Chain A
Amino acid sequence: MQFIKRFLFLDILKGLWLTFRYTFTPVYTEQYPTERPKLAARYKGAPRLNNDPETGETLCIACDLCAQICPEDLIVVGVQRDPESRKKVLTTYTFDTSRCLFCGLCQEVCPTNAVELTQDFELATYDRSTMLWDRSRLEKGWKRIEYGESRNFR
Chain B
Amino acid sequence: MMETFLIYLLIPALKIGVVVLVLSGAIAYLTLLERKVIAHIQVRLGPMRVGWHGLLQPIADGIKFLAKEDIVPAKADALLFTLGPIISLIPAFLVFSVVPFGPPDMLQGVLSKALGFLLPPEGVEQVVTNSIASGGFVTDLNIGLLFLLSVSSVGILGVILGGWASNSKYPMLGALRSSAQMVSYEVALGFSIIGVLLIARSLSLVEIVEQQQASGIWYFALQPVAAVLFFICGLAETNRLPFDLPEAETELVGGFHTEYSGFRFSLYFMAEYANMISVAALMTTLFFGGWLQPFPNVPWLWFLGFIPSFMWFSIKVFLILYVFIWIRGTLPRFRFDQLMRYGWKIFLPVALANVIVTACLVWLFTLRG
Most buried by B among A12, A19, A20, A28: A19
Task: Find out whether the CB atom of B331 lies under 8 angstroms from the CB atom of A29.
Answer: no
A23 and B38 alpha carbons, distance in the complex (Å): 8
By a CB distance below 8 angstroms, the chain B residues around A19 are 41, 326, 329-330
Task: Find out whether the CB atom of B43 lies under 8 angstroms from the CB atom of A20.
Answer: no
Question: Does A132 belong to the interface (CB within 8 Å)?
Answer: no
The residue of chain A having its C-beta at the shortest distance from the C-beta of B36 within the complex is: A23
Task: Find out whether the CB atom of A27 lies under 8 angstroms from the CB atom of B327.
Answer: no
A29 and B326 alpha carbons, distance in the complex (Å): 20
Kindly identify which residue among A15, A20, A22, A27 contacts B45, using a CB–CB cutoff of 8 Å.
Answer: A27
Task: Find out whether the CB atom of B330 lies under 8 angstroms from the CB atom of A27.
Answer: no
A interface, by DSSP: helix, strand, loop or mixed? helix
Question: Does A31 belong to the interface (CB within 8 Å)?
Answer: yes
Task: Find out whether the CB atom of B330 lies under 8 angstroms from the CB atom of A25.
Answer: no
Kindly identify which residue among B43, B45, B48, B49 contacts A25, using a CB–CB cutoff of 8 Å.
Answer: B43
Task: Find out whether the CB atom of A22 lies under 8 angstroms from the CB atom of B41.
Answer: yes
By a CB distance below 8 angstroms, the chain B residues around A22 are 40-43
By a CB distance below 8 angstroms, the chain B residues around A18 are 330
The residue of chain A having its C-beta at the shortest distance from the C-beta of B228 within the complex is: A9
8 A Cβ contacts from B40-59 to A? 40-45, 48-49
Question: Does A69 belong to the interface (CB within 8 Å)?
Answer: no
Cβ proximity bits B317-336 to A, threshold 8 Å, 1 near / 0 not:
00000000011011100000
By a CB distance below 8 angstroms, the chain B residues around A10 are none
Task: Find out whether the CB atom of A16 lies under 8 angstroms from the CB atom of B330.
Answer: yes
By a CB distance below 8 angstroms, the chain A residues around B40 are 22-24, 27
Size of interface on B: residues with Cβ below 8 Å to A? 14
By a CB distance below 8 angstroms, the chain A residues around B44 are 27-29
The residue of chain B having its C-beta at the shortest distance from the C-beta of A23 within the complex is: B40
The residue of chain B having its C-beta at the shortest distance from the C-beta of A25 within the complex is: B43
Cβ proximity bits A1-26 to B, threshold 8 Å, 1 near / 0 not:
00000000000100110111011111
The residue of chain A having its C-beta at the shortest distance from the C-beta of B328 within the complex is: A19
By a CB distance below 8 angstroms, the chain B residues around A24 are 40
A4 and B330 alpha carbons, distance in the complex (Å): 21
Cβ proximity bits A129-147 to B, threshold 8 Å, 1 near / 0 not:
0000000000000000000
Size of interface on A: residues with Cβ below 8 Å to B? 16
By a CB distance below 8 angstroms, the chain B residues around A153 are 49
Kindly identify which residue among A16, A23, A25, A28 contacts B327, using a CB–CB cutoff of 8 Å.
Answer: A16
A16 and B322 alpha carbons, distance in the complex (Å): 12
Nearest CB of B to A54, in Å:
46
Q: A23-B37, A31-B48 are in contact. Are A12 and B330 (CB under 8 A)?
A: yes
Task: Find out whether the CB atom of A12 lies under 8 angstroms from the CB atom of B331.
Answer: yes
A139 and B368 alpha carbons, distance in the complex (Å): 97
By a CB distance below 8 angstroms, the chain A residues around B45 are 27, 29, 31
By a CB distance below 8 angstroms, the chain A residues around B41 are 19, 22-23
A43 and B343 alpha carbons, distance in the complex (Å): 57
Q: A20-B326, A23-B37, A31-B48 are in contact. Are A15 and B43 (CB under 8 A)?
A: no
By a CB distance below 8 angstroms, the chain A residues around B330 are 12, 15-16, 18-19
Nearest CB of A to B241, in Å:
12
Task: Find out whether the CB atom of B331 lies under 8 angstroms from the CB atom of A27.
Answer: no
Cβ proximity bits B298-333 to A, threshold 8 Å, 1 near / 0 not:
000000000000000000000000000011011100
Most buried by B among A18, A22, A25: A22
Task: Find out whether the CB atom of A27 lies under 8 angstroms from the CB atom of B43.
Answer: yes
A23 and B326 alpha carbons, distance in the complex (Å): 9
Task: Find out whether the CB atom of B331 lies under 8 angstroms from the CB atom of A15.
Answer: yes
By a CB distance below 8 angstroms, the chain B residues around A29 are 43-45
The 18 listed contacts between A and B (C-beta, < 8 Å) are: A15-B331, A16-B326, A16-B330, A19-B326, A19-B330, A20-B326, A22-B41, A22-B42, A22-B43, A23-B37, A23-B40, A23-B41, A24-B40, A26-B43, A27-B40, A28-B44, A29-B45, A153-B49
6 interchain residue pairs of minimum CB distance: A29-B45, A19-B330, A23-B40, A19-B41, A15-B330, A28-B43
